[in-house]
Amino acid sequence: MKRICFTLCVLFFLAACTKETQQSSVNSTSDQEELRAGRLFIVPLTGANEVPGPGDPDGFGTAILRLNQAQGTISFRIFVTNITLPGTGAHIHVGTPTEAGPVVVALTPPDASGTSSGVVNVDPALIEAIRQNPENYYVNVHTTPLYEAGAIRGQLSK
């Protein structure tokens, strides 16, 4: 079931990208290039990954990140389900799979529909560090009242 939901989230994202690309055909070539620029990460999120646990045992989702070092931006889309919504926080943290680490990038938490998206400005040096060692970073989503420290989490990987 979780694999099906993850697949549906990815397909939803790809459909949204196709729509954005079609809409951008009226924009300049540089706008189209920017949509495709950067390093893509698709990160599965689960409660079982939350450290220190427990995270929400039923919660899961997907975070899709595009890191653009040249622009100093991270574009993101987050899709979650089976957690208390709206989320109260969403972040990229520095930390290995076995540790909780500090926030390095604040993201918009999912709304009542379980989705969020946006673009945040980030120091290009941090983007470079994430790109070089993604396994040292993770995304998580916070909820209240039960999972203020994190409901679901997913580690970036190469």
Collapsed DSSP state (helix, strand, coil) of residue 121: strand
Please choose, from the candidates 67, 80, 155, the residue with its C-alpha nearest in 3D space to the C-alpha of residue 119: 67
Dihedrals phi, psi of 67, to nearest 5 degrees: -95, 120
Helix (H) or strand (E) holding 93: strand 89-94
Please choose, from the candidates 39, 35, 108, the residue with its C-alpha nearest in 3D space to the C-alpha of residue 68: 39
Binned average pLDDT, 10 residues per bin, the chain of 158 residues: 48 44 39 63 97 94 97 97 97 97 98 97 97 97 95 96
pTM here is: 0.79
pLDDT of residue 36: 56
